[in-house]
Amino acid sequence: MPIIKLPYEYLETLTGTDRETIIDRVPMIGADIERIEEDHIDVEFFPDRPDLFSTEGVARAMQGFLGLKSGINEYPITPSGISFRVDPGLAEIRPFLGSAVIRNVSLNEEAIESLMGLQEALHWAVGRGRGKVAIGVHDLDTVTPPFYYQAAPRDRAFVPLDFAEEMTMEEILEHHPKGVNFAHLVRDYERFPLITDAEDNVLSFPPIINGERTKVTTETKNILLDCTGTDMKAVMTAVNNICTALADAGATIESVEVDGTPMPSLSPSIRMVSVDECRRLLGIPLTAEEMVAHLRTMRFGAVADGEEKVRVTVPCYRSDIMHDWDIFEDVAISYGFENFDAALPESFTTGKPHPVMVMMDGVREILAGLGFLEMMPFTLTNVRVLYTAMQREINPGLLRLQRPISEEQTVMRTDILPMLVETLQINHHRELPQRLFAIGDCVEGEDTFQKVATVSIHTEADFSEIYACADALMREMHIAYEIEESADPAFIPGRRADIIVDGKKTGVFGELNPDVIRAFELDAPVCAMEIDLRCVQGRPCL
């Protein structure tokens, strides 16, 4: 989640209150304080609230929350007369462009840092790592309109930001740190996106890097904003958030004509919401007027329309407001979570455990009664443990992960016994005897089912011991079974048996093959069993 740096002085100037009040209250608008430093705090906001990714945006929200200012801010727009043309050749590459002119900015170091922080957070949360949206801000007075967003040849050269020499766009992808980081976004296209001015000066190579020429400094008075991307809605979310943040810091916004369409509009949207629906969702008493007051606190525009409706004006930067309930949540936050009268509903219901869990609890009780300790090994494992070390064939239903995180965990278990023997290996330095069991989910193909396995390691562990345990378990589960000589290579020939239920092999037990014992670096006899619990009658389908 984005972590936003909020410098106290700038925040105090914008908000009009002291830092202690802000630190105290900011968590209640939905934020986690990460660090409190000498001159700033680092705060983590939720990814659905890009309007809180700047000091200006946080100040705007805090003013409402602290009762210093309420209702919606107006963002008047005048035409700049500046135009932008978009090359149709970008349609398959990066088709969408949003733009605006931001005049009369007064940028000190903190304001520039806030602007850069906002860009980075937007790149992450809205731009999905610059793929969906990438943002460029430029010193407007260094270039000449109109501007052209084009698909340019890859060998077009310009001086990239923070460099002194010209580089071609291809060279930038290879050598410039930003080029290396984001090359994957454009590498496969024949031509690259490029923004130029009337005199063919380069402003930007979206989504990679701006030109050095238009770098924004504390001297900058007027800004040209470009947001390019693959999703128009996300592009405009970025434009709206940057424009409103700078407007709240005192700048004026002018529109740019992109292929004849003026943008941005920064105009709010209107939602007519039901007071009763809000009341019922939140479970609090609420009049239309109270709801209006709460919404104005949260910096919406709101007026009551009769007693049961409220006309809400949603600021353009609130891209998270998708549904009426999103507005009701803000009412709840303004109402204060601590002021809710928490209560249980009166409906009568009866609880019921799931039959699979009941079955597993039963098996646990039996095996604990037989003196086994339960283990809960991972369900993710690898072919070596599951099959190779057990000298078994790979189960054709084995489920493999597409992109495992480590060599140890590449497949989903089809059996539990190998994990249990591995647990013995982990505990090889602990006192013997060790008698362990594990029960839980296994997967074959796409089907989840349950198995149970036990192991017993000590100098006298033998076939008779485990046979007696298997018999006790089957008797206590009340399942009739037969025994046949087994061919399972994990066990010693002549000391291994299959458990047959209704003519079908459903389990195996015996003395582990010493080669298996050695494969797990153990050195004492081990007797073991494993039973597929699909044999349990009445086991429901999942």
Partner 1 sequence: MAELTYNEKRLMVVLNTIKEATPDIIAGELNTTAAAVVQFAHLCADKGIATLDRTVTVSYSLSTEGEQYATLGLPERQVYASFQNEISMKDMQAHPLARIAIGWMKKKGWVIIEKGLVKKTGDAPEGADEVALRDPDANREGVLELVKRGLAEEAETTTYLIAITETGKALVKAGLDLREEVGTLTREQILSGDWKDLNLRRYSVDKLPKRIIPGKIHPYQRLINEMRNVLLEMGFIEMYGDVVQSSFWNFDALFQPQDHPAREMQDTFYLDSTTPLPENWEAVRDIHEHGGTTSSVGWGGIWDPAKAKTNVLRTHTTGLSIQYLKDHPYEPVKAFCIGRVYRREAIDPTHTPEFEQLEGIVMDKDVSFRHLMGFLKEFYGRMGFENVRFRPAYFPYTEPSVEPEVFVDGLGWVELGGAGIFREEVTDPWGVKYPVLAWGLGVSRVAMLKMGLRDLRQLYRSDVDWIRDTPMMQGGKD
Alpha-carbon distance values, 364 to 370, 476, 541 (Å):
10, 11, 21
Measure the CA–CA gap between 150 and 362, rounded to whole angstroms.
Answer: 69
Measure the CA–CA gap between 462 and 528, rounded to whole angstroms.
Answer: 9
Candidates 42, 47, 112, 157: give the one binding partner 1 (CB under 8 A). Answer: 47
Is 329 marked as a binding-site residue? yes
CB of 205 to partner 1, least distance (A): 23
Measure the CA–CA gap between 394 and 397, rounded to whole angstroms.
Answer: 9
CB half-sphere exposure, 539, CA atoms < 13 A: 18
Confirm if 495 and 510 have CB atoms less than 8 A apart: yes
CB of 58 to partner 1, least distance (A): 14
Candidates 148, 328, 463, 481: give the one binding partner 1 (CB under 8 A). Answer: 328
Bond into 207 cis (ω within 30): yes
Candidates 10, 53, 65, 372: give the one binding partner 1 (CB under 8 A). Answer: 372
Stretch that binds partner 1, among 152-160, 175-183, 238-246, 402-410 (CB under 8 A): 402-410
Binders of partner 1 in range 468-507 (CB under 8 A): none
Q: Rank residues 157 and 356 by Cβ distance to partner 1 and give the closer one.
A: 356
Q: Rank residues 180 and 322 by Cβ distance to partner 1 and give the closer one.
A: 322
340 binds partner 1 (CB under 8 A): yes
- Three-state DSSP state, 136: strand
Candidates 342, 459, 478, 503: give the one binding partner 1 (CB under 8 A). Answer: 342
CB half-sphere exposure, 61, CA atoms < 13 A: 24
Task: Classify residue 128 by burial, with Cβ atoms within 10 Å: 0-12, 13-18, 19+.
Answer: middle
229 binds partner 1 (CB under 8 A): no
Binders of partner 1 in range 408-467 (CB under 8 A): 409, 412, 423, 426-427, 430-431, 434-436, 440-441, 443, 445-448
Candidates 184, 354, 475, 518: give the one binding partner 1 (CB under 8 A). Answer: 354
Measure the CA–CA gap between 523 and 461, rounded to whole angstroms.
Answer: 12
184 binds partner 1 (CB under 8 A): no
378 binds partner 1 (CB under 8 A): yes
Q: Rank residues 27 and 79 by Cβ distance to partner 1 and give the closer one.
A: 27
Q: Rank residues 217 and 350 by Cβ distance to partner 1 and give the closer one.
A: 350
Binders of partner 1 in range 102-141 (CB under 8 A): 128, 132
Measuring CA to CA, which residue among 152, 104, 456 is closest to residue 253?
Answer: 104
Main-chain phi, psi angles of 80, to 5 degrees: -90, -15
494 contact partners, CB below 8 Å, separation of at least 6: none
89 binds partner 1 (CB under 8 A): no
Per rule CB under 8 A, count of chain residues that contact partner 1: 88
Q: Rank residues 180 and 542 by Cβ distance to partner 1 and give the closer one.
A: 542
Distance in Å from the first CA to the final CA of the chain: 36
Q: Rank residues 61 and 97 by Cβ distance to partner 1 and give the closer one.
A: 61
Alpha-carbon distance values, 246 to 105, 238, 380 (Å):
7, 13, 50
542 binds partner 1 (CB under 8 A): yes
Place of tokens 């606190």: 297
Binders of partner 1 in range 248-277 (CB under 8 A): 271
Bond into 146 cis (ω within 30): yes
Stretch that binds partner 1, among 68-76, 143-151, 328-336, 480-488 (CB under 8 A): 328-336
Residue stretches of the annotated binding site: 320, 326, 329-330
Residues annotated in a binding site for Mg(2+): 320, 326, 329-330
